[in-house]
Amino acid sequence: MSKYQEYQKKYRKECQDELIKAGFAPTITPEQAELVLMPSHGPENFYCDGEVTHAVAFADWKRNLRNLNMKESEVKKAVKYIFG
């Protein structure tokens, strides 16, 4: 495993732990957790380095959450957690 892969694994686990503490189901995967937190942890990725509007970034983010097999109720919970 490369240093980057080790870092990514550790970071995803930290994201997962944060969301479980916030009330998300313990079945949330590290990959799902990382994506849920992207708007706050990686806004440059969320907004494609400023090349897309908030509306486009938001729609893409929700679509990507669904593509990771998150249920609609979990997507709504993610929206509320990140954007209030």
Q: Is residue 46 within 8 Å of 39, Cβ to Cβ?
A: yes
Indicate the pTM of the whole model.
Answer: 0.92
Domain definitions of the chain by residue range: 3-83
User: Could you tell me the sign of the dihedral formed by the alpha carbons of 68, 70, 75, 78, in that order?
Assistant: negative
In single-letter form, the type of residue at position 4 comes to Y
What span, in angstroms and rounded, lies between the C-alpha atoms of 84 and 81? 6
Is 76 a residue whose pLDDT tops 90?
A: yes
Q: 50 falls in which pLDDT band (50, 70, 90)?
A: very high
What are the pLDDT digits (tens) for 16-29? 999 999 999 999 99
- The total number of residues shown for the chain amounts to 84
What span, in angstroms and rounded, lies between the C-alpha atoms of 44 and 70? 23
Q: Is residue 37 within 8 Å of 21, Cβ to Cβ?
A: no
